Amino acid sequence: GAGVSQSPRYKVTKRGQDVALRCDPISGHVSLYWYRQALGQGPEFLTYFNYEAQQDKSGLPNDRFSAERPEGSISTLTIQRTEQRDSAMYRCASSRSGYTEAFFGQGTRLTVV
Amino acid sequence: AQSVAQPEDQVNVAEGNPLTVKCTYSVSGNPYLFWYVQYPNRGLQFLLKYITGDNLVKGSYGFEAEFNKSQTSFHLKKPSALVSDSALYFCAFFYGQNFVFGPGTRLSVLP
């Protein structure tokens, strides 16, 4: 596609439910990143994929968070047993490779009630 | 520890005046530095990057940035600000396997 696509754009879920956030990167981009951004603050790193391999998940807050990119393209970030503190904007980005600029999607605004 | 600082939360400038948004970094080795802009309710947009070479790099929308190794700075500049430049600006570096972002500076260009 022309840009990084994320879905849904908005997600409201009840505490304790599982959610899955989807990211469709720019075609051909090898690197894929997930970030979380609080309002008015800089994005915080969650996890990184090189092709289908999850090479860094050091930013995932706890074991309720997981991510996959099984075919080296679309990625899913899953949050199990959501809590109110998980409410944030979740952003996906892709790049041709490491050290090159990353292109961000519009993000998914997650609200846990 | 690797980090990037943006010392000003807010920068106000009159339209037509030059603008500077400051960024300093602490990175071991050669830094790969970036500037991104975020408009309201939009994703982050890439503006420019420094990898190697000329210390003055030019980017989108008339922005440029100067890499200063001795001062460990990478300030964003524009000769003549536009009201439409009002947005949130993030400095970042690439380290290890991810981008590390600064806290952001809100730029307001006043007509």
Phi/psi of residue B108, nearest 5 degrees: -120, 120
Task: Assess whether pLDDT exceeds 80 at residue B50.
Answer: yes
Report the first-to-last Cα separation within chain B, whole angstroms. Answer: 40
Confidence of residue B73 (pLDDT cuts 50, 70, 90): very high
User: Of B50, B99, B107, which to mutate for an interface test with A (greatest number of A Cβ within 10 Å)?
Assistant: B99
Contact flag A103-B46 (C-beta cutoff 8 Å): yes
CA–CA gap between residue A19 and residue A78 (Å, rounded) = 6
Q: What percent of chain A has pLDDT over 70?
A: 99
pLDDT at A1: 53
| pLDDT (0 to 100) of residue A86 | 97
Model confidence at B71: pLDDT above 60: yes
Residues in A closer than 8 angstroms to B96, CB to CB, are 56
Residue A30 has pLDDT above 90, yes or no: yes
How crowded is residue B88: how many other Cβ atoms within 10 Å of its Cβ? Answer: 18
Nearest-CA distance A77 → chain B (Å): 17
pLDDT in tens, B6-30: 999 999 999 999 999 999 999 888 8
A7-16 confidence digits (pLDDT tens): 999 999 999 9
Contact partners, residue A91, CB within 8 Å, separation at least 6: A6, A34, A35, A36, A37, A43, A104, A105, A107, A108, B43, B44
Per DSSP, which regions of chain B are E strands? 3-5, 10-14, 19-21, 24-26, 32-38, 44-50, 56-58, 64-68, 73-78, 87-95, 98-101, 105-110
Return mean pLDDT, chain A.
95
Q: Which residues of B touch A56 (CB under 8 A)?
A: 96-98
Interface test with B, best of A101, A104, A106, A109 (most B CBs within 10 A): A101
The amino acid at residue B59 is G
Distance CA A88, CA A111 (A): 7
- Hey, what are A81's tokens? 């047993």
Determine the Cα–Cα distance for residues B56 and B102; give it in Å rounded to an integer: 20
Two tokens, residue A83: 């809590």
pLDDT band at B49 (very low <50, low <70, confident <90, very high): very high
Chain B: residues touching A (Cβ < 8 Å): 32, 34, 36, 42-46, 49, 51, 88, 90, 92, 94, 96-104, 106
Give A86's DSSP letter. Answer: G
Model pLDDT for residues A34-75, shown as the tens digit of each residue: 999 998 889 999 999 999 999 999 999 999 999 999 999 999
Query: Are A56 and B97 an interchain contact pair (Cβ–Cβ within 8 Å)?
Result: yes
CB contact under 8 A, A101 and B49: yes
User: Which chain A residue has its CA at the smallest distance from B102's CA?
Assistant: A42
pLDDT band at A99 (very low <50, low <70, confident <90, very high): confident
Give the pLDDT confidence score for residue A94 in this predicted structure. 96
